[in-house]
Structure formats: C-alpha cells, structure tokens
Structure 1
Amino acid sequence: MNSYHRTLENLPLLKKRRPLAYAITVGFCAIAWWLRLVLDPFFPPGFPYLTFFPAVILASFLFGRGPGVIAAILCGLLAWYFFIPPLYSFALQRGTAVALLFYAGVVTVDILLVHWMQLANARLMAERERSASLAARTEILFEELQHRVSNNLQMVGAMLALQRRGIADGEAKRAIGEAAAKLQLIGRIQRRLYGSRGEPLALDAFVTALVEDLAESSGKPGIRHVVEANSALLLPPDRAIPLALIVAEGIANAIEHGFADRETGTILVQVCAEGDRLSLSIRDDGAGVAEGFDLAAVDSLGLRIARNLAQGMDAELRIAPARPGPGTLVELRNIPIDRAVQPA
C-alpha cells in the first residue's frame, strides 16, 4: 500500500526524461491501433475510438498533459484514417465531423480531469512536505524548550547550593541544600517528561529512565537498581512529576540510610495498574527503618515533601520495614489514574 501511494505521489512519471515519455505514448497509440484492428470484425459499426480512449487516458495519467494531448491527436488521426468511412483517407464528411467533435470533447474532458487531479496531488505533496518541515521545526523547538527549562531549574538549584556555603546555621543550611537538590532533580525529570515529539512518555519507560538516571548519580555503582513496570499508561505531567519526586526520595533515602555502611545491595521499584488505580513500591535490602516508623512524625524535608505530594495526588504513602526483611518498603498506593491518558 505504501509503494502504491508513493507511485501516485510521483505522477506524472518521467518528468526529467520527456523524450522517453513521448516515445512510450506513441507505443500506447500503436498498441491501441493494433487492438482496434484485430477486434474490428467483432465490433459493430460506429465504434472507431473504443481502444483509443484508454490509450489517451493512460498516457495522461502516467506522463501528464503533454503526452496526453499527443496521444489524443495521434489516436484521433489513426481512428479517422483507418476506422471512419471513407476508410484510408482523411476525407471530412458531415458524419465524420460529428464523430471527430465527439472524440475531441471526450478526450479533452479526460485530459483536463487527469491534469487537475495531478495538480491537486502536487499541491497535496507540497503541503505534506511543508507540514513535515514544520513538524521537524516544532520538534526541535520543543526539545530546546525542554532543555532550557531543565537547565534553568538546575541552574537555580546550583545557585542555591552555592548560597548554602555562606550560611552558618546548620538547620537552614540543610534545608537549602535539600531544596537545591530537589530543584536539580526536577530539572533532570523535566528532560524525561516527554518524547521527542512532545507526547507524554509511557509510565514504564519514564520510571525506568528515571531510576537509571538516579542510579548513575548515586555514587554507589555496586547497588543494583531493578525496575518492574507493566503499565504503559501515559501520565500527564501533573501526575508524573510528583510520582518521580517520590521515587527519587525513596531511592535517595535507601542509598543514604539503608546502605550507609554498604557498597552493594538491591533496590527494586515496582509499578502496576489495576483498574483506575496505580500502585508503586520501592523495596531495598538495606538496614531498614525501625518498627513502628511514623511517617507523619518525621522532620525530614524530603519525606515531608513526599507526603504532601502523595496527598496532592489523593494517594497513600507508607514506609515500613520490608517483609520479609531486611530492608525498607516504600509504598505509594491508590493513585487515581482516571485522568491519565490511555495509550493509543
């Protein structure tokens, strides 16, 4: 089917080899004359042009208006000389004139219709090329915008990190440091929110790319990161960003606290969708949190942000010792996905 459409789009053929196009047109006329001659005993009187009309239409369709006109003239002369009484002459009688006018009218309409169709096809091709060019330009501009937004966020984070050096108060210094890290993280997330054409990335690909990014920047290459995501939902940015921040916080805490005195271990991220709800879990085999860990009572800025983000998504965030242990389990449950975009 694609090959068929490409052939139609290239009509008329042989645009740069017009002598060949005209030679083939003459061949069409000769074949039409030969067929009419062979079939003449089987035709009733009064059908001199029967095999010539297809030759004119075919020449016009394949090679354009010029060869179509040549085919019309040549076929008309052949029909007039061989098949319109008096035969083998160009005598112009009353009946002959009527037949020739009828023929001229039909082939003129045929050639014009084919010509207009090809003009419309040429305009369609030009518009398609223009649309493709605009799409490519839009794609480049969108990628540039994404990079600029990401770079600006990371730059603000870097400026906060520099400002942190001049602060003496320990609590303020820690808070600014965490804020700077979060801004730089959001900047990296921004790069992964969309595909190259501006479409939201599928959730499984988005989470996988995010975890790989976090693994590379963790500073502990011995820790293995595993992602099990079977959901191809296309989450809008207002869901994807908080989800990514919670994943990043869970992995950062696992590396910072669970593997504080270890260089090896495993962090497993699982994502699954059931009906109109999405669940996400982060499990590590590190030191683990204490029994009775109360997320509402912690004073960590990162965990407080994660808790508020979960509440903003109408989801439930839970942190508890992994069962079976050792390790920590971070669960984000009952994320509504009614506003998520279903894949096509």
Structure 2
Amino acid sequence: MSGRVQAFVERLPLLADRQLLAMLAALLAAGIGLGLRLLSAPWMPPGYPFLTFFPMVVATTLLFGWKPGTLCAVASGALAWYFFITPTTVFAFDAGIAVALSFFALVVGAEIVLIHALQTFVARAARERETSRLLAENRELLFRELQHRVSNNLQVVAGLLTLQKRGVTDKRARDALDEAARRLTLIGKISRQLHDTTGGHVPVGPFLDTLCGDVLSASGRDDVALEVSVDDGIEIGPDAKIPIALIVAESIANAIEHGFANGSAGSIGVRLNRTPSGLLLEVSDNGAGPPEGFRLEDSQSLGLRIAQMLARQLGGSFTLVREERTRALLAMPG
C-alpha cells in the first residue's frame, strides 16, 4: 500500500465531526442507487431489486462510517421495496417480500459490520504506530540530551584536572594529569559525534574521518598527512564505536609521539576492512617505529595497555608490528 493510499485509508471515515452532512451524503447515495437501478431496468432481468443499492451501502459505510451506512441501507431497502418489488409503488408485504427484505438486511448488515471492524482495526493500528513513533522520538531525544550532558560533564572533569595540574610540581604527575584530561576530552568529543544533528547514527567512515582529524589537530602537527578509508557496507553500533575510537586515538597519538618524535614529516593511514574472520582496523605510519626488540606485552605505555584492554572488551585482539610501516592492528568480530 502506497503512502498516499495508506494515509487516506487511515483518515476514514470522513466527516466524523459533521454527522449531519454525512447523513445527507448517505441519503444521496441511496438516491444514486435508485437512479442507477431505474436506468438499468430495461436491461436487467426481474428479481434483482437490490443490485445497485449494495455498492452504495458499501461505499457510504467505507467513506462515512457505520451510522451513515446504516441510514443508506434503510433508505435503499425502502426504495427497492417501493419501486422494484412486486407489487410496485406500494409497501406491500407478504412472506416472499419478507424473505427478500431479510436477505437484503442480512447482506448489508454483514457489510456494515465488517467494514466497521476493519476501520476500527486500522484506526487502532494507526494510533499505536503514532504512539510508537512519539515514544521513539522521546527516547532518542532523551538519549541525545543524556549524551550531551555526559559529554559536558566529561569536559568539566577534564578542565578540573587541568586546573589541578597547576598545583602539581612533579613532572610525572603533571604528565599523568595531562593524559587523563586529554582522554576525557576525547571521550566527550566521541560522545558528541555518535549521532548527527537529526539523531541518526553517523556512518563509520565520516565518524572515523572526523575523529582522526580531531586527534591530529590536537597534536599540533601539520606536517603529518592523514588518510582514512573504510570498506563499503561496514556498520558498527554506538556501543562499539567508543572503544574503537579510543583505540584509533591512542594509536595515532602513539605514532605521533614515537614515530615522529624528532619532528620529521610523515603519513598516517587508518583503514577499516572486512576480512573472512571479521573486521580489521589498521593504523599505520611511516615513522621511526618501536625500538628494536619491542614487545607489546612488555610495554609500560598506558595508551597501549588501554588499547589492549579495549580490544578484549570488543572480543578482539590488538597487536603492534613493524614491517615496512609500523602497524597497529585491531582484529574483532563483525
């Protein structure tokens, strides 16, 4: 059923708040049935007094409801009785006429009951669908508001950590506070990016592209080229996007901090591909890479440990390898 037809059907019955006009339409329909029956009389065999009145009753009930339909049925029965049941032009009554009128009443009664039941069902379904739509809109609105508040609160906490750093003299403690503030700020930005302005989910490609641009911009490096590519058709739920985004952010930050520590220019590539076993996220760079004999499991880097923990949370694994380029790999089901 097309949208326009469905919208029209859900509006039925018409003139529900103008019953007098609907009743007049019912009488007009009975009159049309009479006119059609009179016009067809020369070609119609005897014994069909109600033939043209049945569709009028159906149309009236369908368009205007069971009350006008009932009025049309009564008027149609009276007109057929008077003009087309022998003897005509009088309201004669006998057993045969009683059977004919009973048959007409049974048929139109069944039509009216069925149409009324159908319209009641359609109206109830339309109300339930509208209620579901409003509930979905409210739920989405509340979720976005909660998301906005959480993001704001994270920004506030990050700001407090930055203020707290002013009273700390130990360099390691100051660096730890800086890292914590940076990660909280990043989580806040990620939360804002999970949905677009209309409340729809942001596709993976634009989400990662914006995220990587933010991380690179926050590093202050304009001499590092960035390329993001995502295979078509990959979809990731909001619950998985935050840990994936944090792993990408930590990998990019690690590449900038260690791969390009001497200020040399370079490039970072972020790729999300589908593999036979799931999804593979790769963050590669052409920087200096990890030192000789580096083992990820022995690393004391907090960022890399966080990446490993988040990978396990996703049911996957995180590895760091040095080949032609340094590659941080996240393998996960998908």
Q: State the TM-score bracket (shorter-chain normalisation).
A: 0.7 to 0.9
Aligned to 1:242: 243
Partner of 1:75: 76
Cα deviation, residue 91, structure 1: 3.0
Alignment of 1:135 with 2:136, yes or no, is yes
Deviation of the 1:6 alpha carbon: 1.1
Q: Does 1:329 align with 2:317?
A: no
Deviations 1:113-138 (A, max 9, x none): 32233233223222222222211111
One-letter code of the match for 2:307?
A
Task: Give the Cα separation in 1 of the matches to 2:308 and 2:107.
Answer: 79
Question: How far apart in 2 are the matches of 1:190 and 1:83?
Answer: 77
CA 1:183–1:29 in 2, change beyond 3 Å: closer, same or farther?
A: same
Identity %: 41
Deviation, 1:51, is 1.5
Q: Is the 8 A contact 1:32 1:52 kept in 2?
A: yes
Q: 1:221 & 1:75 partners in 2: Cα distance?
A: 85
For the residues of structure 2 that align with 1:308 and 1:113, how far apart are their CA atoms?
A: 62
Separation in 2 of the partners of 1:320 and 1:231? 28
TM-score under structure 1 length normalisation: 0.81
Residue 294 (structure 1) aligns with: 294
**How has the CA–CA distance of structure 1 residues 20 and 284 changed in structure 2, closer, same or farther, with 3 Å as cutoff?**
farther
Structure 2 CA distance, aligned partners of 1:68 and 1:217?
A: 72
1:230 aligns with 2:231: yes
What is residue 173 of structure 2 aligned with on the other side? 172
Farther-moved stretch of structure 1 (146-155 vs 70-79): 146-155
CA distance in 1, matches of 2:43, 2:234: 68
> Per-residue displacement from partner, 1:51-85 (whole Å, max 9, x unpaired)?
21111111110111232123212212221121011
Further displaced range: 57-66 or 153-162: 153-162
RMSD over aligned Cα atoms? 3.3
1:56 is aligned with what amino acid? V
Do the aligned partners of residues 268 and 305 (structure 1) sit closer, same or farther apart at CA in structure 2, a change above 3 Å counting?
A: same
Deviation at 1:271, TM superposition (A): 1.0
SS in 2 for 1:305: helix
The letter of the residue matching 1:125 is A
1:70-219 matches, within 5 Å, as: 70-193=71-194, 202-219=203-220
* Equivalent position amino acid for 1:336 in 2: M
| CA 218–32 in structure 1, closer or farther in 2 if over 3 Å, else same | farther
Return the letter of the residue paired with 1:138.
Answer: R
Q: Which range moves more in the overlay, 196-205 or 249-258?
A: 196-205
Letter of the structure 2 residue corresponding to residue 329 of structure 1: T
State the distance in 2 between where 1:11 and 1:78 align: 27
How much has 1:161 moved relative to structure 2?
A: 2.5
Corresponding residue SS for 2:161:
helix
1:227 maps to a residue whose letter is V
Deviation at 1:203, TM superposition (A): 3.8
- Aligned match for 2:317, one of 315, 318, 322: 315
Cα distance in 2 for residues equivalent to 1:263 and 1:83: 102
Whether the 8 Å CA contact 1:153–1:184 is kept in 2: the answer is yes
Instruction: Report the Cα offset of residue 8 of structure 1.
Output: 0.9
User: In structure 2, what is the equivalent of residue 272 of structure 1?
Assistant: 273
Separation in structure 2 between the aligned mates of residue 221 and residue 243 of structure 1, nearest angstrom: 24
- Normalised by the length of structure 2, the TM-score is 0.83
Q: 1:70 to 1:257 in 2, by over 3 A?
A: same
1:72-114 alpha-carbon deviations (Å, 9 max, x no partner): 1221222112101111222334433343333233323322332
1: CA distance, partners of 2:30 / 2:279: 70
Partner of 2:48: helix, strand, or coil?
coil
- Local SS of the residue matching 2:68: helix
The change in CA–CA distance for 1:220 and 1:102 in structure 2 (over 3 A counts) is same
1:304-329 deviation digits (Å, cap 9, x = unpaired): 333444466442421436x3xxxx53
Give how far 1:25 is off.
Answer: 3.8
Higher mean C-alpha displacement, 258-267 vs 101-110: 258-267
Segments of structure 1 that go 5 or more residues without pairing to the other structure are: none
Match of 1:305 in 2: 306
Partners of 1:143 and 1:196 within 8 A in 2: no
Q: Structure 2 CA distance, aligned partners of 1:263 and 1:81?
A: 103
Distance apart, 1:239 and its partner CA: 4.3
